[in-house]
Structure formats: C-alpha cells, structure tokens
Structure 1
Amino acid sequence: MMNTANFLAIDLGASSGRVVLGRWDGRCFALQELHRFANGPVTVLGHMYWDILRQWDEIKTGLAKYTAQVGEPLAGIAVDTWGVDFGLLDKNGRLLGNPYHYRDARTDGIPNLVHQRVPFSRMFQVTGIQFMQINTVYQLFSMVQTGEPQLAMADMMLMMPDIFHYWLTGRKVGEYTIASTSQMLDARSRQWATGLVAELGIPTAILPPLVSPGTILGDLRRDVMADAGFTRPVPVVATGSHDTANAVAAVPDLDAHSVYISSGTWSLMGVEIPEPIINEDALALNVTNEGGVANTIRLLKNIAGLWLLQESRRQWQREGYDYSWDDLMVQAAQAEPFRSLIDPDAADFLNPGNMPAAIRAYCRRTGQPEPETIGAVVRCCLESLALRYRAVLDGLERLTGRRLQKILIVGGGSQNRLLSQFAADACERPVIAGPVEATALGNLMMQAVATSHLDNITTGRQAIAASFPRQTFAPHPSPAWHEAAARFAHLTG
C-alpha cells in the first residue's frame, strides 16, 4: 500500500449530487464534501428528463472548488450514479437530447409488450435481472414502439456515469456494474445479450464496449483541466459506476452469512455471491443479479425505500408543515403500532404526486384504517419497510441455502435509528448501521485500489471499518411482529 493520496468521488443521486474529497493517509479515509447540488427531474410537455448539462456544470464547479480550496495533487476522479438511465450519442459523439428520467410515464404498459416478444422467464434466464418497468430495456423498447428519431440517429448508448466519464476523458465505454442494471447483459458471460436485444428491435450497434470496475480510463481532458484549474494530469477511474455497487464495496464485515441494505431513496437488500443465481425460485421472488466489484454478483431486491417518506415530507412542506426528520421520527415513535400497513413496492407509490394521500387511499382500498396523523403515516411506512426486509431476508436465505445472521445497513438511511430498530425487531437479527457515506467511500476505495494505494477490496473494507463509527441495534422479538408479518404477507400476496 502507498502512503497518502487525495481522490474525488462524484456521486450523483436521484435527489442530489455532490463532489466529495477523500483523503487516504495510509490507514484511514477522511471525507470532506466540497460541493453539493440539488438534482431531480425536469418536466417538459408531459415528459420527465434529467438536466444533464446542469449536472455537468455542477461537476466542473466541484472540480474547480478542489483546485481553489485544496490545490494538492489529485490521485483520481470517478463518477457514480443511479442505474438504468442513459443518453444517446450521434456518430460525432454529441448527445442527442436530455436523458429521460426513469420515472417518466413512457414505459407504462411497455413490459407487457416486451414480453409478448420475449417471455419474461426467458429474459430472466439470460439477464437474471428483476422485473421493473424503469429498466433500460423497457425504456429503449418504448423508443422502438414510438419510432423515436433519436434512436434512429444514435451511434452509441452510454449509461449516465459513462457519459460523464466520456466528457471527462474522451473515452466512450460502458462500465460493467452500471451496464448490468440495464436488463440487457448476460449475467453469466457478463457481456451484452445481443441476441435478446436484437429480438426486441433495439439496434445492438449502439451498445458500447465494456470495462471492468477499477479500470483507469485515462487522464482528464485538457479543456476540463483548464476549466477547473488543474496543472497536472489526473487519472479518471471507472469504479463501480453504479452507486449501489460502490456502496456494497464499502460494507465492512460483509461475508457469506450477512445481508446488506444500501438504504436511501431505494433500499437495495441483498448478498454478495461469486456467480448469479438464476432459477425458478429466483424468478418467482423477482430478485436481481447485478454486477458487483471484484468479480462478484450482487443478488438483491430493489425496495421502494425512503422514497415513501421523502415524498410524504415534500407534500407536508407544500402544506406548510416543515418538520425535520427528527421531528417526524418522534411523532412516529408515539403513533400506534401496526395500525396500517402498505406494500412499499406497490405501483400506487411509484410517482403519486401526493404520497400521504396515496397511502391513505391504499389503506382504504385494502380495508385498513387510514393513517390520520403525520406520525401514523411515518410509522406505517417504517413498519412496512421493516416487514418487507423480513420477507426479502427469508427469500435470500432460501435462495442461498444458508442462514444470514446479521444485517449491515449503509447509506443515508442508516442514520434512521427507528427504521434500524424496526428492521432488527422484524427480522430478529442484529442490525449494524453505518457508514453513512458508503457510496462515496466505495467510489474512493475503488480508486485507491485501481491506483495501487490499496492492495485489494478486503484491505479497503478494513480501512473503511477503521475510519468511521457504526451502531448496533439488538433485536427485540415480539409476537406483535409475527402477527404483523402475517398481515403483510396476506396484503402483498
């Protein structure tokens, strides 16, 4: 291992982005957020898009802040983002319009049309990916169906982080972990499933060459260096360009008998395994085999996560109730337990506009009392998420054939003490929460490995464990949780 180095993680999430400085001193990482900016969809003529040029400008602002505020040599830069979304480039490498947002309604009804051509069971046998209408394959097929001119003009498709890496370096490639979220990758060969893609009428020529996580793509382009004020070459690394791949890379003590939850807008709950698990049970459970770092597979389930509370809080703010997260947790703790439950992954909650109203309507439709207070809505969401974790845990144990003895929660949601305790109680497993900044840490750690400042992922995880505190939540088994689990199972079918 080499001694000291500075790295920049550019971490774009669905609601915010930031540029984070990671200082490696040879033993531990220290983090400093240099730049943070709001991120979210822009709606134009009834469609939702990402404002990618503003995102790019914010990235360059973060790079300029590094040179202005720190000014030391930089050992690496890497970008990670959410999965599934992409942009199309023409033959001259120019972007053909703003990328669509994954919640755009253009994929409504599209999965049924796709699976008239390619049955889902066969698609799953190839890709091993969970059915979600936001997946890249459904987005592209919607463009086939509507005869989208952009698709006819496209020379290459790049996923969101790959676009930024292209603009940073001039190199057009697809990174494996982000490509795996597309539902167009062969899970076993870890290459594009061109036969399946072609069956859907999607042009396979647009699929980029793939690189493994930890690949040094090249140095920062001269024009970007000049704009940001760099005077020395800076390597750009494709880490786990999918944010969840980086978050899982940063989970300390992750082993064959533990399950991780990367907790944020989404809850990504799964295990790290060497090869995909693709069988009838996996298909029935609708799990996903996404690419991980260091030749691993992330067998996981996508769960709606804190999106339910984020959207509820946004609605309450519109109504003039600007409660802090701590205020909301206090009200939830005081609310009646298990009064109402929801399926967090129900289509009702994908993009309802008014989340609390959608929750009340769901409870009314399913014959349950409506949560009437803010605290009752929050508790309903948290208890329902914990019960979803319990159901997913059971499924993962069946698929892997082993007991998963502890739950490791990382990401922003690991700060939610009430949810962590509910998860421990519902699952009857100890929960270890932290680090909060798992995605940025995984990004930085993978850069350190790629540039030989760390030996491997194992030593990187040990370094992360030594760098940041974690909290353990012991389970408190209760018949009430068992009764609630039975209700939840009936509710979700």
Structure 2
Amino acid sequence: MASAKTIHCAAVDLGATSGRVIIGTWARQRLSLTEVHRFPNRFHSLGGHDYWDLAGLWGEVVTGLREARRRFPRLASVGVDTWGVDYVLVNDEGRLVFPTHAYRDARTQPGLKRLANTRAALERIYAATGIPNVFYNSSLQLEETVAHCPAVEDLATRCLFLPDYFNFLLSGRMENEITMASTTQLLDVHGTGWSRATLDHFHIPPTWLTPPILSNTVLGPVRNFPELAGVKVVAVPGHDTAAAYDAMPADPAGGDLFISSGTWSLVGFESDRPVLGAAALAARIANERIGDGRYRPLTNVIGLWLLEQTLRDCTVRPGNDREWGRLITAAERLGRGAA
C-alpha cells in the first residue's frame, strides 16, 4: 500500500551564473518541484583576479530558505550543491582566511603549462587521481595559493569546497563530501581517501582535508536560524553534475550515457571502476564520483556559457524553461550567418 506521508525537502542549487532554491515534495509516490527563489550569480574582478561573492551568495541562500519555510512550514531538510573545484580556506572557527577565487581565474596557467610539459608527472598524477590536467583544477589553484601566499599555511586549518562550506554555515560541521572531492585532482582514484603523493606534488598541506564522507550523510539541524529550527542539513551530492546524475532514471544494470547541460555540459556514464590509461588521458576522461563512491567517467564540453555571457548585456533575460526554449527556437530560425 502506498505511503500517505508527505515530505518537503529544500534543494539549494548554486550554479556559476545563477542560483535557486527548490522544494521537492514527495506525496502519493510522486515527486513535485516548486521553485521558491532564484537569483543571478557571477564572479567579480579585483586587481586582475576573479573572486566569488560568498557573502552575497549566502544572503541569497538564507533568503531562499526563509521563503521555503514560510511556504512549507513542515520543511524536513536542506541540501546544497554547487559547481565543482572551487574552495574556501578557513581557520578552526570557520572564518575565511583567504579570498575565494573563481575557477576561471588565469593565475593557474604557469602551473598548468609546467605540468603539461612534464609528461611523467602528468601520467603519474592521472594514474593516481583519474583527473586530467585542466587549468581550473583545485590542485593547481591550491598550489598557486600556497606558493604566492605562504603565510596562508599558518592561517588556514581546513579547506572546504563550496558545498562543504555552505553545509558548515548551516550545520556547524566541517566535512569534505565525496563527489566534490572527486573534482579536485586530489582524491585517490582507487579509494575514497586523498592521494598523499598528489598532495605532496602540489605542496598542499594534507591536514587541510579530512576523509570524504559519502553523500546523504545527515550533518545535523540548521543552527543560528530560529525560523529554520528542526530542518536537517544533509550532505547531498555536492557537485551539481553528481546531483543531477542521481536524479536520472538510469538502467540499474548500467550502460546509459548522460549529458548534464549547464554552464558546462558533461557527457559520461556510470561505472564500478575508473577508466584509466594512456587513451583515457588523451581523451581527457575525468573519473568523478557518484554519491555512493562509484565512478562517473566523463568529459567536459562547452555548454551554455557563451549564451549566458551574451545575455549579460541584455536588459531582459529568460526566467524559466519556456522562455529559454522560445529564445533558442527564435535563434535557430534566423539561420546561419544572420546578423
């Protein structure tokens, strides 16, 4: 007999160009979604470098969750996902000790070229982590930070990736989650711990990181917000692609391909083992993880970033899927070469 219980859960979905808070309602064996808050997101340039506005993002998250509780008084839980690789360095109290760079910042280019020109190291790191050499990797970002700001080693005690950080702000617990950890080029591809050899290669303090937890771990209740009392914080798949994948009605026997489209589009499949070797490295296959620790071998292709950047100069932008569809259809009708 079908359960009559109704459950409301909040999903905080933060993308590189927009964020939203959505309520998933499970009732009568069906899931329905209600968007309660949406807002733009972008990085800001300062002194030739690019940074995220964490305070602004946090304010939008709180606004969205307050609206969610107002509309759904029996809200049961909240989970956060974001784009990959970016991180926050904090001290024991959780205070920021260094600005949070955006992954498109060009400061990693020297390290990228240096690694690309050292074939043996490139192959060794890929064999250890299953992640190819890309300029935005957390490994290169952290290497650059430690090299150019060595005092940060004395100030920071933890490295929290973006969903980890927002989970901390909500629950007070500092944890690294498995799907986000798998985007960093620092996770051991053959287990669920960090690759010590890779951390040493990039001169990253291993004490900054703790053993990653699997997704769907309950971190505890929301703290410091009486209006959200009783709402549980759950470490859902923190990487947005992993979260989207978990919702895909895939064949349990495997074999299904997926395309997760956003600012980037990611094409991949589910596997019980990583895809490694020279051919995989040449194809730039990234062995990211599913929430239960298994693998999502995938490759990155250009997504909606160009369209999103174009719309930044527009006074009105699409606000929902239907409006996006109309815009794309109108563009297709113009034909190639139209002014």
Fold shared per TM-score above 0.5: yes
Partner of 2:220: 218
Q: Given the superposition, is the C-alpha separation of residues 65 and 180 from structure 1 closer, same or farther in structure 2, using an over 3 Å criterion?
A: same
CA distance in 1, matches of 2:39, 2:27: 28
Q: How big is each residue's C-alpha offset from its partner over 1:198-242, in whole Å with a ceiling of 9 and x where there is no partner?
A: 122111111123110111111111x12x2xx134x2211111111
Structure 1 residue 253 displacement after superposition: 3.4
The equivalences for 1:140-289 within 5 A come to 140-221=142-223, 223-224=224-225, 226=226, 229-231=227-229, 233-254=230-251, 256-289=254-287
Q: How big is each residue's C-alpha offset from its partner over 1:370-394, in whole Å with a ceiling of 9 and x where there is no partner?
A: xx535xxxxxxxxxxxxxxxxxxxx
CA distance in 1, matches of 2:106, 2:54: 19
Q: Given the superposition, is the C-alpha separation of residues 27 and 51 from structure 1 closer, same or farther in structure 2, using an over 3 Å criterion?
A: same
Please state whether the residue corresponding to 2:75 is helix, strand or coil.
Answer: coil
> In the alignment, does 2:333 pair up with 1:373?
no
Partner of 1:83: 84
CA distance in 2, matches of 1:144, 1:114: 17
Cα pair 1:197 1:204 within 8 Å, conserved: yes
Partner of 1:63: 65
Cα pair 2:9 2:76 within 8 Å, conserved: yes
Runs (5+) with no aligned partner, structure 1: 337-371, 375-493
Partner of 2:75: 74
Partner of 2:329: 329
Please state whether the residue corresponding to 1:211 is helix, strand or coil.
Answer: coil
Say which of 50, 61, 64 aligns to 2:52. Answer: 50
Cα pair 2:179 2:293 within 8 Å, conserved: no
CA distance in 2, matches of 1:241, 1:296: 15
Letter in 1 for 2:143: F
Alignment length (residue pairs): 330
Over aligned residues, Cα RMSD in angstroms? 2.2
Runs (5+) with no aligned partner, structure 2: none
Q: Given the superposition, is the C-alpha separation of residues 141 and 329 from structure 1 closer, same or farther in structure 2, using an over 3 Å criterion?
A: same
Partner of 1:475: none
Partner of 2:105: 104
Letter in 1 for 2:306: L
Partner of 1:464: none
Q: Percent identity?
A: 36
CA distance in 2, matches of 1:247, 1:90: 32
Please state whether the residue corresponding to 1:21 is helix, strand or coil.
Answer: strand
Structure 1 residue 151 displacement after superposition: 4.0
Partner of 1:428: none
Q: How big is each residue's C-alpha offset from its partner over 1:318-365, in whole Å with a ceiling of 9 and x where there is no partner?
A: 8xx9897534533434424xxxxxxxxxxxxxxxxxxxxxxxxxxxxx
Please state whether the residue corresponding to 2:101 is helix, strand or coil.
Answer: coil
Structure 1 residue 187 displacement after superposition: 1.0
Structure 1 residue 258 displacement after superposition: 2.2
CA distance in 2, matches of 1:203, 1:113: 21
Greater CA radius of gyration, 1 or 2?
Answer: 1
Please state whether the residue corresponding to 1:108 is helix, strand or coil.
Answer: helix
CA distance in 2, matches of 1:277, 1:157: 28
Please state whether the residue corresponding to 1:300 is helix, strand or coil.
Answer: strand
Partner of 1:304: 302
Partner of 1:138: 140
Cα pair 1:52 1:98 within 8 Å, conserved: no
Cα pair 1:263 1:306 within 8 Å, conserved: yes
Q: Which has the higher helix share?
A: 1
CA distance in 2, matches of 1:153, 1:302: 34
Cα pair 1:117 1:200 within 8 Å, conserved: no
